């Protein structure tokens, strides 16, 4: 019985040191910019709009600020606004971020082809 318990504890501890790759969902659950960076993700601020195909979207000056932790392939490349989008159900989440943060896991560059967005600077 002792041997069984030792093996059970050993395997349980090994599973705690998982080498599973980080996912975008892992990063999105992080709500603290410092922790985001510690985990290898990038914290970025900008604006968020939800739109369906055929709808228009508009990012007005003074939009509600948006911040989120993203899984990217590198650190911010430029301090210029950059747009990403992803499809969630039948609605696109479109983010206008303050910086180009490279390739974002689970997001595509630019706006979706079926949604026309305008921006106030």
In a domain, 84, yes or no: yes
Q: What is the mean pLDDT of the chain?
A: 82
In a domain, 28, yes or no: no
- pLDDT value for 80: 79
CA dist 115 and 121 (Å) reads: 19
- Residue segments in the chain with a per-residue pLDDT below the cut of 70: 1-19, 74-78, 121
In a domain, 91, yes or no: yes
Place of tokens 């896991």: 105
In a domain, 37, yes or no: no
- pLDDT value for 75: 63
Cβ atoms < 10 Å from Cβ of 11: 9
Contact 95, 117 (CB under 8 A): no
Q: Quick one: which of 23, 63, 29 has its CA closest to 45?
A: 63
- pLDDT value for 62: 80
In a domain, 26, yes or no: no
Q: Which domain holds residue 59?
A: 45-121
Its pTM stands at 0.76
- pLDDT value for 16: 37
Contact 44, 84 (CB under 8 A): no
In a domain, 4, yes or no: no
In a domain, 65, yes or no: yes
Q: Structural domain tally of the chain?
A: 1
């Amino acid at each position: 019985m002792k041997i069984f318990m030792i093996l059970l504890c050993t395997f349980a501890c090994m599973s705690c040191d998982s080498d599973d790759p980080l996912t975008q969902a892992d990063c999105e659950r992080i709500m603290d910019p410092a922790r985001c960076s510690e985990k290898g993700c990038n914290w970025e601020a900008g604006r968020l709009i939800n739109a369906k195909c055929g709808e228009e979207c508009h990012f007005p000056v003074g939009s509600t600020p948006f911040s989120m932790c993203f899984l990217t392939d590198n650190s911010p490349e430029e301090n210029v606004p950059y747009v990403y989008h992803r499809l969630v159900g039948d609605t696109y989440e479109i983010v206008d971020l303050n910086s180009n943060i490279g390739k974002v896991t689970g997001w595509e560059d630019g706006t979706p082809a079926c949604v026309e967005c305008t921006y106030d600077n």
